[in-house]
């Protein structure tokens, strides 16, 4: 199983909305970047991803799971980009903030820091376990 991190501005799609959307899963729409698209395509059902609030909060707030593998983005008229469906798994008891990640040597290689504008990124198994521990998940 692979691990990922997805970003969303809570003003447009927040963790709370993801939780309320329930166990069926909801499409992760709006990706318009080819690197991010390539990552979406690599995702397999059952893969897990951190849900990160960009701009407001700037912290990892929860864990989602791939409920459905990639298919064309219904909001993309050009039919170039894809979505996957995510469902909420569990919140982090303690959100892990960007400040915390930057200050932590173990997490200094995270794509979140190195490729700060990429909205769908891979996370290594070590980073995954460590962030889960920090967050109390």
Residues of this chain that interact with DNA (CB under 7 A) are 7, 9, 32-35, 54-55, 58, 98-99, 102, 115-119
Smaller CB distance to DNA: residue 44 or 109? 109
Cβ closest to DNA, residue 116 vs residue 124 = 116
Measure Cα distances from 87 to 31, 37, 46, 121 in Å: 17, 19, 10, 18
> With respect to DNA, which residue has the nearer C-beta, 45 or 81?
81
C-alpha to C-alpha distances, 129 to 6, 54, 59, 98, nearest whole angstrom: 17, 21, 16, 17
| Minimum distance of DNA from residue 36's CB (angstroms) | 9
Q: CB of residue 41 vs DNA: minimum separation in angstroms?
A: 15
State the residue for tokens 């897990």: 48
Q: How far is the CB of 23 from DNA (least distance, A)?
A: 26
Q: What number of residues does the chain have?
A: 137
């Amino acid at each position: 199983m692979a691990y990922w991190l997805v970003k969303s501005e809570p003003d447009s799609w927040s963790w709370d909305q993801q939780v309320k959307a329930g166990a069926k899963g909801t499409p992760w729409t709006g990706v318009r970047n080819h690197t991010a698209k390539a990552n979406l395509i690599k995702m397999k059902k059952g893969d897990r991803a951190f849900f990160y609030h960009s701009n407001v909060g700037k912290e990892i707030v929860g864990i989602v799971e791939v409920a459905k593998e990639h298919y064309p983005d219904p909001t993309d008229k050009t039919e170039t980009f894809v979505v996957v469906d995510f469902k909420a798994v569990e919140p982090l008891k303690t959100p892990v903030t960007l400040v915390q990640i930057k200050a932590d040597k173990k997490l200094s290689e995270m794509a979140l820091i190195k490729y700060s504008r990429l909205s769908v990124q891979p996370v290594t198994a070590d980073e995954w376990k460590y962030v889960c521990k920090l967050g109390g998940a």
